[in-house]
Structures are given as C-alpha cells and as structure tokens.
Amino acid sequence: MSSFVSRIVIAVVLLPVVLGAVYLGGWWVFALVGAELSGVTWMLAGVLSTFALAFLLKAISEARPAATSAVSATVMGSLWIGGGLSFFLLLRDLPQHGRLALVTVLIAVWAGDTFAYYGGRLVGRHKMAPAMSPGKTWEGFVFGTAATVFVAFVALYKQDFLTIGESIALGAVLAVAGPMGDLFESLLKRDAGVKDSGNLLGGHGGMLDRLDAFLFAAPAAYFTILAFTT
C-alpha cells in the first residue's frame, strides 16, 4: 500500500473514533487521551513533580549521558506530551461549549495539516524550514492557514460562544500553533536521525507524528478561548 493511500485509510478509520470519543466525553475522552486531571493547578503539579522523578531516575541509572541532558529530556517529554494531551481534557471540560471547542480544534488542525500537505505537494516551491523539515513549504502553510481559519469560522460563527472576529482569531492561532508543533517534532526527529516516530499508522508514521500539531494547538486554543470568554 502506498504512503498516499495509507494516509487516507488511516484518516478515514481514526477520525470517526476520535470525534465519537470527544462527543461522548467523560471516560471516553479519558481513554482517548490516557490521562486524568483536575484543572491546570494539578496538571502543573504533575509536571513539576517530574523534576524530582527525573533526578531520582538519573541517580540510579548507569547510562552515560550528562545529567543536564537526561533530566531535561525527561522533563520536556512530560511537559510536551503529557501536558499537551491534558489540554484535550481541559478543552472538553470548559463550562460552556467544551465539546464544540474540542471538536473545532481537532477538525481545524486536521484540515490545516491536510491542506498544507497536499497544497505543498501541488504548488510548493519555497521551503519553510529546510533544515528541520524539507517537505514543508510556505505555499503549503498558506493553504493550511486558509483551511484552519475557514473551519474555525464555520464551526463557531453561528454559535452562542465566540464572535465572528474571535472565531477567526482562534483559527489564526491554531494555524500558527499547529505547524509549530509539527516543526518542533521534526527538529527532535532530525536530532535523533529518524524520519518518523514509528510506523504504527502507515503513511502517517507513528502516533506522535499525528499528535505533534495538537500538542501545541490544544494549549494555545485553551488559553485563547479563556481570554475571549472570561
């Protein structure tokens, strides 16, 4: 199966599962994310506790990497992946329109990623970050931004939630945060000398390759929505 076909198949299979879990909420989202929390305070406490745990693990480890590198990598992984996924739950648990907010973020970022990928393949000429991710182009970014803002606008502009301007602003935030998350993971993969984080999802790569944009977009969306609604 080609990479192109496998990307489509995986998307068709997984997208309804993810959206269904978000719609049901509760333990379904818990199962999807794999984490539970009680607000930002406890989430921060959990992240900060990794400093002590990382120190203890390094103290009993016989690995050679410097303590600074080892502890920093452990804490970063907790903050980046664990913290990023936690914002899925925070978005879903917003007092009003939490389900709508999370679904909008998921679809908008997915649409932006998809349009950026295919737009870049069709008309991409100017590299965005050749050293980190040679496949990404500014033309693809424009396609992705347009798709992300459009989805956010369509999903929210008629709801008693955000104004038209706020929905467009949220789309713009997602259009920037999503690619930044993607580029961040690309930087780590290049440092590790690998193309993908795995091959579990065929043409999509590993699970982290599908989550990287959301790990930046979800926190950005949460705080943007808070700024607009409080």
Question: pTM score, two decimals?
Answer: 0.75
Question: What distance in Å separates the CA atoms of residue 89 and residue 84, rounded to the nearest whole number?
Answer: 10
pLDDT digits (tens, 9 = 90+) for 208-230: 777 889 999 999 999 999 999 98
Helix (H, G, I), strand (E, B) or coil at 128: strand
pLDDT digits (tens, 9 = 90+) for 41-60: 666 666 677 767 767 666 67
Tell me which of 82-86, 111-115, 120-124, 136-140 is least confident: 82-86
Per-residue pLDDT, 96: 83
Question: Do the beta carbons of residue 57 and residue 74 sit within 8 Å?
Answer: yes
Per-residue pLDDT, 166: 95
Highest averaged pLDDT of the listed ranges 49-53, 135-139, 192-196: 135-139
Domain ranges of the chain: 3-229
How remote is the C-alpha of 93 from its chain's centroid?
18
Look at residue 6 and tell me whether its pLDDT is greater than 90: no
Highest averaged pLDDT of the listed ranges 34-38, 67-71, 126-130, 185-189: 126-130
